[in-house]
Structures are given as structure tokens and as C-alpha cells.
A and B are shown apart, each in its own frame.
Chain A
């Protein structure tokens, strides 16, 4: 049976893992390569590394961090942040990523999704969407959550899938870092609107939140950062609880 994936996210700034609340107030959480290896040993099904300052600071993703992290990581490894054109993606794949995540650049030019997919396959292209509740709907934000686009998250997810995205990484900005639970309504609406997998992100605080986003949010995978880095809940414990709640997970692994 296809299992629900638990994805550990490393938000990286200047080569260090950091974590903020609602995209600001960053705290240091360690070395990316060490964090990634530790999460994989704990049972993470996948690792995502997001260079969170890359787009806003006009910097390229830190390729040496990617390369160091990828070297001994034998689970899928996604890298995002600062990927603006095909050559940025090529450099990240060359450094050892299995998938890339695009966000702002894809909103600006959706054809970028197809270009990367044509070269590396759709399975290697994750479109990251940062969405916030507004006027009864969900609006897409870009540039690390700083710039509203006026676009509807569901419509954008569908367009991204049509353009060749292999997965959607959907972050609720309202819930990011709050540990009050995923936005299941947002997740369910997007997951039901596209045929590609949807990764829920933003708000994870307890095993119950994961159970809820898989059962009522229809998520294919769920991503969390802060709760894992600071040892509040390790992935092994989380997977045991999911398994006990009859959520199909890779456990034992």
C-alpha cells in the first residue's frame, strides 16, 4: 500500500538551518547535512531543503550545502529557493538534488515548470505554493511570503499541474510555525483539485495534526520543520503514533 510521507524540511539561511514563525523571527537549528542525516535515520521519508533568503536576497541556492547534504542521503532530496531559470535548476541537480522546488519564478513564468520537466522529468519538479486566507479564499504569495499576487491558490495549483509539475508543496502562511495544526481546508481543496500529490505544510504541532491532514485534508505527504529540529517530536515517535492510528506509513523502516 502506498504510504503517507513524512517530510522533514530544512529552512536554510547562510548555510545554517533556521526556523521562524509565520516566515519571520529566525532561530538557528544546526548544520543542514547533519540535520538531514539525523532525520533520515529517524525515519523521514524525504528531505526538503529550502534556501529561504535566496529569492528575496537575489542569491543563488547555496550549492555546496546542497552537495554536502546530498552526499550520503539515500532518501529523496528536494531543494528550493532562488531557482529562477533552467540553469539554476541544472546547477542544483548537479549538486545532488533529486527534485527542485520552484515558487516565485514559476508564478512569474509558468513555462519554467515545463522547461525543467522536459529536461529532468515531471517527477523532479515540485511547485511550492505559499497561500494565505483572504476574503473567503486562499491567495498566493511570493518572495518568501512578502508579496501578494492576487492569484487563487487552487487555480494556480491546477495550472502548475497542467504545466508539468510533479507535486505541489502547499504551505499555509497563516499556520507556518504556529504548531496549531495544518490548514486542512486549504489542503483538502487543493488535493481534490489536482491529480498530482500534494504535500501539506505549515502548522504541524502534534501527531494528531498529521492524522487529521492525512484523513480530512487528503494530503499525500506532510512536511514539518520546527517540531523535528528541536526534538519536540521525533519522526520515529510520530510514525509509531500514525501507525497506531491506522495511517499507512513506512514503519518500521
Chain B
């Protein structure tokens, strides 16, 4: 079963609908116990980085981190991907999970913000989440802050500068774009997540300090 974590920020119907369409068993939940019994965890999110404080206020943060640390395939979408980094300049007082080094920052002044629309992915070879996704596929973005390109980046997108469109290491996956709104490319990515290997476990390098 896939648990979509509902921490009170935004609309999770579209994500659930896409998994329903793929025939996956999926629940939207506010309950840490449900997350504990799930095989896979999806952390969606839209809006302001501070919305993620909903995770802390509800006891969901620990449940999510425990699941991810236990090796359950974890997918962060949009804000959920930004949360995998150390933090964001959008809400400096709020800590991310720190799976990946670096902070999320605004776009350069040379481009309009937010970045809204379909942009292309420069896909790096070897990604499991992006398996069979063509090199210059288009996906749908809507965000005002961007995560840096890091060693775990599996696809970069150019908007003013390169940023991480997808990250992946062992069981931890993140996408800045909205696969549930990215037509067939997005559905393929969600299906790849449904099929991701259950046994691989990410050893978190930095968040133990928190």
C-alpha cells in the first residue's frame, strides 16, 4: 500500500487519482500508524516551504523519517522534494530532512518567478525512477524556489540556471515537477516508483545530527 502523507497543505486529490489510475493501492492519510504500515510513502506539497511545518505539528515527520530510514521507497513531490534538502531560503527557520546537501533558493532575477509550465528534463542515465523516460521529455512545474544540482540529481532542468528536477539515492526519490500532471511521462514515472525495489536503503549522511 502507498501512503500519501496529508499534513494539511494543499490538494492531494490529483496525486491519489494518478495512482488510482495506475491500479495502485493508495491511501491519503494524516495518521502516523498508517504510514508505519505502508510499503511506500509519498510526500506531496505545494505552496510555501513553511507549509511543511504541518509535518512537525502532527507527528508525521517522525513517521515519515522512520519509514524512509527503514528503506521504504519514498517519493517527495514539489515541496516534498525540497524537504529532502537541508532547508529553503523561503522559510529559513524550518529545517528540511537533510537527505541531500544544499538549500533551496529563489530563481535568478533574470527570469520570471514562479516557474510555471512545461519544461524539459536533462535525464542522466541509470535512474530507476526515470527509467524509459526519453532524454528531453517535458514535465509540468509550478514553483518559486529551486533545489541545487547535487550528486544525487538524476534530471536537471534549465530556468535561469540549472536546478534539480529529480533526485534519487537508494530508496529516496524526489521530483520538483508534478508527475500527476505531466501526462504520460508523469504516469510512467509514478509507475516506476510503484515498481521501485523495496530492499534498497538510503543511509542518511547528515540528518542524524537533527
A residues lining the B interface (CB < 8 Å): 1-5, 40, 45, 70-72, 74-76, 93-94, 96-98, 117, 120-124, 166-167, 195-197, 220-221, 250, 253
**Contact present for A124 and B46 (CB under 8 Å):** yes
Listed A/B pairs (14) with beta-carbon separation below 8 Å:
A2-B119, A74-B181, A75-B182, A76-B142, A93-B13, A97-B11, A98-B14, A121-B46, A122-B114, A123-B46, A123-B116, A166-B142, A220-B112, A250-B138
A221 interface neighbour in B9, B14, B117, B143, Cβ under 8 Å: B117
For B140, what are the chain A residues with a Cβ–Cβ distance below 8 Å? 45, 75-76
**Contact present for A122 and B11 (CB under 8 Å):** no
**Contact present for B13 and A96 (CB under 8 Å):** yes
> Closest chain A residue to B21 by CB distance?
A72
> What is the interface of chain B mostly: helix, strand, loop, or mixed?
mixed
**Contact present for B119 and A197 (CB under 8 Å):** no
Q: How far is the CA of A76 from the CA of B183 in the complex (A)?
A: 9
CB-defined interface of B33-57 with A at 8 Å, one 1/0 digit per residue? 0000000000000111001000000
B112-136 interface (Cβ within 8 A of A): 112-120
**Contact present for B114 and A70 (CB under 8 Å):** no
Task: Tell whether B180 is near chain A: CB-to-CB under 8 Å.
Answer: yes
Q: How far is the CA of A187 from the CA of B187 in the complex (A)?
A: 34
For B9, what are the chain A residues with a Cβ–Cβ distance below 8 Å? 121
Q: How far is the CA of A27 from the CA of B180 in the complex (A)?
A: 33
Q: How far is the CA of A65 from the CA of B162 in the complex (A)?
A: 40
**Contact present for B47 and A121 (CB under 8 Å):** yes
**Contact present for A120 and B47 (CB under 8 Å):** yes
**Contact present for B142 and A2 (CB under 8 Å):** no
**Contact present for A1 and B119 (CB under 8 Å):** yes
For B59, what are the chain A residues with a Cβ–Cβ distance below 8 Å? none
If A74-B182, A120-B46, A121-B47 touch, whether A94 touches B118 (CB-CB below 8 Å) is no
Question: How many Å from the CB of A160 to the closest CB on chain B?
Answer: 15
> Closest chain B residue to A249 by CB distance?
B118
Q: How far is the CA of A74 from the CA of B19 in the complex (A)?
A: 11
For B181, what are the chain A residues with a Cβ–Cβ distance below 8 Å? 74-76, 98
B10 interface neighbour in A2, A5, A120, Cβ under 8 Å: A120
A121 interface neighbour in B17, B48, B113, B158, Cβ under 8 Å: B48
Question: How many Å from the CB of A95 to the closest CB on chain B?
Answer: 8
Interface size on B, residues (CB 8 A): 35
If A76-B181, A250-B138 touch, whether A196 touches B117 (CB-CB below 8 Å) is no
If A76-B181, A98-B14, A250-B138 touch, whether A2 touches B47 (CB-CB below 8 Å) is no
Q: How far is the CA of A71 from the CA of B17 in the complex (A)?
A: 7
Q: How far is the CA of A168 from the CA of B11 in the complex (A)?
A: 21
**Contact present for B183 and A40 (CB under 8 Å):** yes
B143-169 interface (Cβ within 8 A of A): 143, 158-159
**Contact present for A74 and B138 (CB under 8 Å):** no
Task: Output the residue of B46, B51, B142, B159 with the most chain A CB within 10 A.
Answer: B142
> Closest chain B residue to A2 by CB distance?
B119
For B3, what are the chain A residues with a Cβ–Cβ distance below 8 Å? none
If A76-B181, A120-B10, A123-B46 touch, whether A2 touches B18 (CB-CB below 8 Å) is no
If A70-B17, A74-B187, A75-B183 touch, whether A123 touches B142 (CB-CB below 8 Å) is yes
Question: How many Å from the CB of A187 to the closest CB on chain B?
Answer: 15
For B113, what are the chain A residues with a Cβ–Cβ distance below 8 Å? 195
**Contact present for A1 and B114 (CB under 8 Å):** no
For A40, what are the chain B residues with a Cβ–Cβ distance below 8 Å? 183
Task: Tell whether B186 is near chain A: CB-to-CB under 8 Å.
Answer: yes
CB-defined interface of B58-84 with A at 8 Å, one 1/0 digit per residue? 000000000000000000000000000
Question: How many Å from the CB of A181 to the closest CB on chain B?
Answer: 22
For B48, what are the chain A residues with a Cβ–Cβ distance below 8 Å? 121
Q: How far is the CA of A117 from the CA of B149 in the complex (A)?
A: 29
Question: How many Å from the CB of A200 to the closest CB on chain B?
Answer: 14
For B142, what are the chain A residues with a Cβ–Cβ distance below 8 Å? 76, 123, 166
A5 interface neighbour in B114, B118, B120, B183, Cβ under 8 Å: B118
**Contact present for B114 and A166 (CB under 8 Å):** yes
**Contact present for B116 and A220 (CB under 8 Å):** yes
A250 interface neighbour in B115, B116, B118, B159, Cβ under 8 Å: B118
Q: How far is the CA of A102 from the CA of B4 in the complex (A)?
A: 29
Question: How many Å from the CB of B30 to the closest CB on chain A?
Answer: 16
**Contact present for A196 and B14 (CB under 8 Å):** no
